[in-house]
């Protein structure tokens, strides 16, 4: 992956960043990173926003545009929408619910295989994140001092489908709760369909905190 693509990937997975932060992450000079960012702005993939800094000098943070986000895979959005509409037309909402339930069962089986032998909360969430990353969600985990874990999904390969059929999002949340175990509480705290940059889940043991 070249420097240009690495910068786009960091903005996708980490959100808005300063050129200095990107340079530190990549081991490059801030000037070199700025040149790449300016090229990405010219290509319509990146934009920036200035905000007041601590000493009065504005802080410039760079972020992906809609076109920049579109560079990442979405699992053939148009085909997915056509299939959803086709199921609705032929079989109604009941048929669509059956389709979602079938996908839910398949996902649950796959995730349970990934989580087999994982006993701690950290291990279970990490295994689930690995499974989701394999599916294109660019998932990461963030352990917290209180023992809970944040599960971040920096990309949604079915976002277009979820916009047309929000049962997909509801279904995924229920699968997470089942595969992580009855003693686990999973709460979605960020949601792309509500305007957030990513989907994030707070995962904790029941009664924790």
Q: What is the CATH number of the domain that holds 28?
A: 1.10.10.10
- Residues 93 and 182 reside in one and the same domain: yes
- Residues 50 and 141 reside in one and the same domain: no
- Residues 146 and 166 reside in one and the same domain: yes
The number of residues making up the chain comes to 209
**Residue after which a domain boundary falls, among 69, 100, 118:** 69
Q: pTM here?
A: 0.69
The pLDDT tens digits of the residues spanning 61-103 come to 999 988 888 787 655 556 566 777 777 787 888 887 887 888 8
**Residue after which a domain boundary falls, among 69, 86, 117:** 69
- Residues 132 and 32 reside in one and the same domain: no
The pLDDT tens digits of the residues spanning 152-194 come to 999 887 776 666 667 778 888 999 999 999 999 999 999 988 8
**Residue after which a domain boundary falls, among 69, 94, 111:** 69
- Residues 45 and 93 reside in one and the same domain: no
What average pLDDT does this structure show over 122-137? 93
- Residues 166 and 100 reside in one and the same domain: yes
pLDDT at 22: 93
| Contacts made by residues 160-164, CB under 8 angstroms, sequence distance 24+ | 160/74, 160/77, 160/78, 160/80, 160/81, 161/75, 161/77, 161/80, 161/81, 161/84, 162/192, 162/193, 163/193, 164/81, 164/84, 164/85
- Residues 83 and 161 reside in one and the same domain: yes
The pLDDT tens digits of the residues spanning 36-72 come to 999 999 999 999 988 887 776 788 999 998 888 878 7
Contact 140, 129 (CB under 8 A): yes
- Residues 171 and 97 reside in one and the same domain: yes
- Residues 109 and 126 reside in one and the same domain: yes
Q: Report d(CA 46, CA 68) in Å as an integer.
A: 6
Across the chain, what does the average pLDDT equal?
86
Residue 87 domain boundaries: 77-205
Q: What is the CATH number of the domain that holds 82?
A: 3.30.1380
DSSP state letters, the chain: --HHHHHHHHHHHH-SB-HHHHHHHHT--HHHHHHHHHHHHHTTSEEEEEE--TTSSPEEEEEE-HHHHTTS--S-HHHHHHHHHHHHHHHHHHHHHHHHHHHHHHHHHHHHHHHTT--SHHHHHHHHHHHHHHTT--EEEEE-TTS-EEEEE---TTHHHHHH-THHHHHHHHHHHHHH-TTEEEEEEE-GGGT-SSEEEEEEETT--
What average pLDDT does this structure show over 18-26? 92
- Residues 14 and 47 reside in one and the same domain: yes
Q: Report d(CA 181, CA 82) in Å as an integer.
A: 35
- Residues 35 and 52 reside in one and the same domain: yes
Report the domain count for the chain: 2
Q: In degrees rounded to 5, what are phi and psi of residue 19?
A: -65, -35
pLDDT band at 12 (very low <50, low <70, confident <90, very high): confident
Residue 96's nearest CA partner among 81, 109, 110 is 81
- Residues 94 and 194 reside in one and the same domain: yes
């Amino acid at each position: 992956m070249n420097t240009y693509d690495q910068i786009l990937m960091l903005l996708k997975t980490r959100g808005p960043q300063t050129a200095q932060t990107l340079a530190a992450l990549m081991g490059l000079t801030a000037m070199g990173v700025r040149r790449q960012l300016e090229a990405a702005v010219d290509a319509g993939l990146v934009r920036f926003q200035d905000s007041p800094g601590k000493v009065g000098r504005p802080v410039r943070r760079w972020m992906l545009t809609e076109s920049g986000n579109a560079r990442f895979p979405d699992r053939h959005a148009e085909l997915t929408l056509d299939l959803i509409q086709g199921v609705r037309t032929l079989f109604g909402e009941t048929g669509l619910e059956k389709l979602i339930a079938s996908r839910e069962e398949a996902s649950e089986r796959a995730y349970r295989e990934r989580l087999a032998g994982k006993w701690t909360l950290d291990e279970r969430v990490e295994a689930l994140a690995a499974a989701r990353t394999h599916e294109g969600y660019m998932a990461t985990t963030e352990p917290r001092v209180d023992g809970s874990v944040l599960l971040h999904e920096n990309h949604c390969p079915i976002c277009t489908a979820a916009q047309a059929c929000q049962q997909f999002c509801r279904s995924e949340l229920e699968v997470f709760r089942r595969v992580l175990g009855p003693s686990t509480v999973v709460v979605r705290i960020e949601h792309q369909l509500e305007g957030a940059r990513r989907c994030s889940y707070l995962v904790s043991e029941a009664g924790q905190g």
